[in-house]
Amino acid sequence: MSAAVVSAVVLSLQVAATGTLLVMGLAVPVAYLLARHEFAGKRVLTALLTLPMVLPPTAVGYLLLVLLGDRGWLGRETLGFDLGLLFTWRAATLAAAVMAFPLVVRTAQVTFEAVDPRLELMARTLGRGPVETFATVTLPLAFRGLLAAAIFGFMRGLGEFGATVMIAGNIPGRTQTLALAIFGAQQAGNDAEATVLLLIAVAVGFAALYAADGLTHGSSRRQRGSRSTRREAG
């Protein structure tokens, strides 16, 4: 395995893992809000949060480029200093996080909706506050589904191409992720390297999907068993 392949794989894992951590920190509370509360503008907010999922990735990348460019809202001329994100591995991480966010939110929202709200209500009546109830009741019950959401987000970030190439470029050893390396190898006529990268991507993707499927099925069985137990007790 060449140094270029190793570099692309390591960088991809770094970008996807960091992006997933960023996404989970924001997506979990947002998903819980959408799952448990009704409020004015909820459908509009849901549509906006899901927008990166349906837009061409290059369009999302262009929007990020405009946002982070010199004259953008987060650009050097507006802030008075340069964030130093563009064309770095951090830009690739941002692209991966933005593209993974809608998928993670959707998966986490479904997970929270499957948690019986009566269990949270019981905890509140026993004197637990909202934060304690969320931490000790909701999160443990939703853990497997949230872990599956994290896996989906990780894989979405690992395979990101369009937005990444717009704001991070395709710089070998610096910003060239697995998806970009496959493209670069194919464009250069290096079919052997492209095939190796493809096999790595397939192996990682299969392992992740297999793990996520086991988590979601296990969570469904536990919830059915819990409902059955409550009916018998009633």
Q: Is residue 234 part of a domain?
A: no
Q: Is residue 148 part of a domain?
A: yes
Q: At residue 112, what is the residue type?
A: F
- Say what the pLDDT of residue 1 is: 73
* Residues present in the chain in total: 234
Residue-wise pLDDT tens digits, 18-72: 999 999 999 999 999 999 999 999 999 999 999 999 999 999 999 999 999 988 9
Q: State the Cα–Cα distance between residues 118 and 137, nearest whole angstrom.
A: 11
Residue-wise pLDDT tens digits, 202-224: 999 899 889 888 877 755 555 55
Number of domain units in the chain: 1
| CATH number, position 180 | 1.10.3720.10
Whole-model pTM: value is 0.86
Cα 206 to Cα 17, 32, 42, 139, 155: the distances in Å are: 17, 29, 35, 27, 10
Q: Is residue 204 part of a domain?
A: yes
Residue-wise pLDDT tens digits, 155-184: 999 999 999 999 999 999 899 999 999 999
* Residue ranges making up the domain that contains 59: 3-227
Q: Is residue 233 part of a domain?
A: no
